[in-house]
């Protein structure tokens, strides 16, 4: 992971981020990472597809794919980019939004990569929850498990035999972890 120095804004990140790299902005500092590996991309695409299909059938809002940035804080700016996210219809940004949406999604999915450090993942979860995300799903393909982090601070660890539950955010939705890993 490479860090930029100085204080960067969300608008500057849009222009200055390196091509073909994943980048986020945390308190004005740009963090650049290598693209995700194959397994990461496959699991992220599967989660996004299953979420998108279910949300579209239910007409509940939008699902965005990997690396869509959201401005979570200003001065200094923080822009985070999940592997998938759901935004309910009543909270959708205007159709003419340019750049990053200035909102926290209702549900965020983060797929872990081999090089992710526990402290960095905890910081990301804290940023999401602190900005108003109601559910954060962590998917760990290497260990074939997951975790659910809720806005109230509770956490549930899942094995590959369990399923993610949409709870009050997407009532009725369940996604089997085993299905994500196949």
Of 1-5, 32-36, 40-44, 150-154, least confident by mean pLDDT is 1-5
Report which secondary-structure segment, H or E, holds 177: helix 177-181
Cα Dmax for the chain: 45
Residue 3 has pLDDT above 60, yes or no: no
101 and 93 Cβ atoms separated by less than 8 Å: yes
Among 89, 43, 52, 85, which residue's Cα sits nearest to residue 67? 85
State pTM to two decimals: 0.93
pLDDT at residue 38 is higher than 80 = yes
E strand or H helix at 158, and its extent?
Answer: strand 155-159
Residue 23: which of 79, 99, 63 has the closest Cα? Answer: 79
CB 169 within 8 A of CB 107: yes
Q: Are 107 and 166 in contact (CB under 8 A)?
A: yes
Q: Is 163 buried (19+), middle (13-18) or exposed (0-12) by CB count in 10 A?
A: middle
In the Cβ-directed half-sphere of 57, how many Cα atoms lie within 13 Å? 9
CATH code given to domain 36-181: 3.90.1570.10
Residue 172 has pLDDT above 80, yes or no: yes
Tell how far CA 138 is from the center of its chain: 9
User: pLDDT for 97-126, tens place per residue?
Assistant: 888 999 999 999 999 998 888 999 999 999
CA distances from 177 to 54, 69, 139, 160 (A): 16, 25, 8, 5
């Amino acid at each position: 992971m490479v860090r930029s120095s100085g204080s960067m804004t969300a608008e500057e990140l849009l222009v200055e981020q390196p091509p073909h790299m994943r980048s986020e902005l945390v308190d004005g500092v740009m963090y650049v990472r290598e693209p995700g590996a194959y397994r990461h991309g496959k699991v992220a695409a599967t989660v996004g597809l299953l979420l998108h299909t279910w949300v579209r059938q239910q007409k509940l809002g939008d699902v965005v794919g990997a690396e869509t940035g959201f401005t979570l804080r200003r001065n200094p700016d923080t822009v985070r980019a999940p592997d998938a996210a759901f935004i309910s219809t009543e909270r959708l940004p205007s159709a003419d939004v340019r750049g990053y949406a200035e909102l926290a999604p209702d549900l965020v999915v983060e797929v872990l990569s081999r090089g992710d450090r526990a402290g960095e993942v905890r910081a990301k979860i804290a940023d999401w929850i602190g900005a108003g995300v109601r559910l954060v799903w962590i998917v760990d393909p290497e260990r074939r498990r997951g975790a659910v982090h809720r806005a109230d601070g509770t956490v549930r660890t899942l094995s590959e035999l369990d399923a993610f539950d949409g709870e009050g955010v997407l009532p009725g939705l369940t996604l089997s972890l085993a299905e994500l890993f196949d």
